Structure 1
């Protein structure tokens, strides 16, 4: 039993240690979305705009968890016992990916709600598409170029140069376009599910 627990702990550290940190990063834009779009007044102070910039910078972290499926694949291929794979790797990774993605969806739902409250309902879809596009670029920068959200502050010139160079190359642009498509489709599906759950909770059914 002790050997199994030791193997499980080692396996978690090697293939699942990212979960807590990545979920923390995913919940930053979620928390900000409630402050910016739900509890915020109609007045947009300099602090509000600063919060919006932080929200945009960190939002790709929530959608980024979709790409962490590669860690699950690596863990399965590592040859651990069927018990560790089925009882730890699969449920833990899928749970983290789902929670991170839901944080992304709710953040955008809050953004859409804010636009509607501001009388800009016609810009809701445009706002969602714009966010998907920015997040697709952000996910590429994080997954392939290994940039972090705070690099926008610490080395913005490097990010700008890398982004411009990659957007003019065929392969990176293709990856970004595919990511954008996945985000758009998955968001559309999960948005309806989430709104349906919210409606049932509110109606008490």
Structure 2
């Protein structure tokens, strides 16, 4: 049984690794840009910074986009008749994939919030997060249903703009975008609290260790 599961794992990884790796790569682009834009010591915003800022928001929807890849999970489960294969391999693989992609989104916005806090604009953080969720909900819809990519904003902006205007006039697209916005908002709030909780716990543990070291050195 173990050998069979191992062989199935290799097969599934080969079948899914290419598109999963690509989608995760796109999800991690805004994460990398958020470190460059929002975590550096200088608060000065040059032309290059603003260009990076635009690219950041152009690629940001790729991070929550991974949540929509659950449609591949549902389709794949329907073709598999082994509960062990689904439980031990397929589901954990997709769960890890979606967690990594969405966590890239969460950390990206946490970095943005940290930057606004350093600018003295803490009151803007919540609004910036909601705006980001709304833009990403639109971006996810355009990517999943209209099959646009982030770089289409440069290569065929007119086509993207026309499609966006046409879709915003329809009831079905508005409902899908609204539901996507709600899902992203709720999941982001949960994931943000968990992420910040882990960071605070690590800082608290590090602080206690430093205090213990000081006490030990003093007693010595």
TM-score, reference length from structure 1: 0.93
Structure 1 equivalent of residue 187 of structure 2: 186
Structure 1 equivalent of residue 142 of structure 2: 141
Whether the 8 Å CA contact 1:16–1:71 is kept in 2: the answer is no
Q: Report how far residue 139 of structure 1 moved.
A: 0.2
Q: Report how far residue 81 of structure 1 moved.
A: 3.2
Q: Report how far residue 54 of structure 1 moved.
A: 0.8
Aligned CA RMSD, in angstroms, stands at 1.8
Q: 1:30-79 CA deviation, whole Å, 9 max, x = no partner?
A: 01101100115111011100111110011101000111111111111112
Structure 2 equivalent of residue 63 of structure 1: 64
Which one has a bigger Cα radius of gyration?
2
The whole-number CA distance in structure 2 between the counterparts of 1:85 and 1:12 is 13
Instruction: Trace 1:71-150 onto structure 2 (pairs within 5 A).
Output: 71-150=72-151
The whole-number CA distance in structure 2 between the counterparts of 1:31 and 1:47 is 15
Q: Report how far residue 162 of structure 1 moved.
A: 0.4
Q: 1:124-180 CA deviation, whole Å, 9 max, x = no partner?
A: 111000000000000000000111111111111110000011011100011001101
TM-score, reference length from structure 2: 0.87
Closer/same/farther in 2, CA of residues 141 and 67 from structure 1, 3 Å limit: same
Q: 1:69-104 CA deviation, whole Å, 9 max, x = no partner?
A: 111111111125334323321111100100111110
The whole-number CA distance in structure 1 between the counterparts of 2:106 and 2:161 is 27
Q: Which runs of 5+ in 2 are unaligned?
A: 207-220
SS state at 2:60 partner: helix
SS state at 1:204 partner: helix
Answering whether residue 181 of structure 2 is matched by residue 200 of structure 1, we say: no
Structure 2 equivalent of residue 26 of structure 1: 27
Structure 2 equivalent of residue 35 of structure 1: 36
Closer/same/farther in 2, CA of residues 15 and 74 from structure 1, 3 Å limit: farther
The whole-number CA distance in structure 2 between the counterparts of 1:143 and 1:16 is 19
Instruction: Trace 1:154-173 onto structure 2 (pairs within 5 A).
Output: 154-173=155-174
The number of residues matched between the two structures is: 205
